[in-house]
Amino acid sequence: MNSPSFHLLTGRINPKDHLQQYKDTSHFLEAKTLENFLKLQVAAKTEINAQLEIISSYRDFSRQESIWNRKVSGELKILDDNERVINPKNYSQKELITKIARFSAIPGASRHHWGTDIDIYDASQIKKEEVKLIHSECVDNGPCAKLHEWLDQKINNDESFGFYRPYAKDLNGVAVERWHLSYAETAQNYFSNYTLELFIENLKQSNTLLKQPLIKNAQSYFNKFVTNISFP
């Protein structure tokens, strides 16, 4: 496999140049990811009559930076582990980075930059506009719980067409995200090329808020939020 470039790994390439469009939607995916997503979608329909759909796919650097910066500045809500809103003014810079990075990737370090990772929901149970991507939607009586229980089995049995959950467990970095699936084969290639040096260079080239403390403690944030994941 070719080594992916700095620009590809950090979401700085026009998706139309290297990704495939999913039907007539605004979603762009890496070719093999799309091919296998379509198979998983058919299986979900056939086996449990669920409508597996994508809420988020490729996301470019500037969009991720905008999310991050608006959270730092207090324009966008920051939630804690109990799905309660917190006030950024009550925290030190280091605390704030940790609070935000638990649910929103540091710009340039989102797996959504790769086109291999998607956030999904069951469109037969909940409208797209109502999806919040919170844990309670995906367990117990949540609208996407049935889909996720089925996915648990498919992933366990190695019948998930190459998809797995990088945020399946709470490893004290990114929170559990049952809705986030990754196409392992391509993503693992990108992951193994995503180095600390690249993470730092990416921050240096950015206008990311809290850039200085992020660079100063880059090794620690890289370990906690980039490489600290579940593997296929």
Given the complex with Zn ion, which of 91 and 103 has the nearer CB atom? 103
Helix (H) or strand (E) holding 86: strand 85-86
Given the complex with Zn ion, which of 178 and 180 has the nearer CB atom? 180
Given the complex with Zn ion, which of 35 and 119 has the nearer CB atom? 119
CB of 63 to Zn ion, least distance (A): 13
In DSSP terms, which residues pair with 183 in a beta bridge?
163
CB of 52 to Zn ion, least distance (A): 15
Part of the chain binding Zn ion (CB under 5 A), chosen from 4-12, 21-29, 111-119, 123-131 = 111-119
Given the complex with Zn ion, which of 119 and 152 has the nearer CB atom? 119
CB of 195 to Zn ion, least distance (A): 22
Given the complex with Zn ion, which of 119 and 201 has the nearer CB atom? 119
Binding-site size for Zn ion (CB under 5 A) equals: 2
Query: 146, 154, 180, 224: which one contacts Zn ion (CB under 5 A)?
Result: 180
What part of residues 117-156 is at the interface with Zn ion (CB under 5 A)? 119
Residue 138's nearest CA partner among 151, 153, 155, 154 is 151
SS (H, E, C) 15-66: HHHHCEECCCCCCEECHHHHHHHHHHHHHHHHHHCCCEEEEECCCCHHHHHH
Part of the chain binding Zn ion (CB under 5 A), chosen from 82-90, 141-149, 173-181, 208-216 = 173-181
Q: In angstroms, what CA-CA distances link 126 with 26, 104, 120, 133, 178?
A: 19, 23, 11, 11, 16
Decide the pairing of beta strands 163-164 and 180-183: antiparallel
Distance between first and last Cα of the chain: 19
Part of the chain binding Zn ion (CB under 5 A), chosen from 15-23, 80-88, 114-122, 210-218 = 114-122
**Both structure tokens of 38:** 């379509």
Is residue 224 near Zn ion by the rule CB under 5 A?
A: no
Evaluate whether 55 touches 79 at the Cβ level (below 8 Å).
no
CB of 185 to Zn ion, least distance (A): 18
For binding to Zn ion (CB under 5 A), which residues are involved? 119, 180
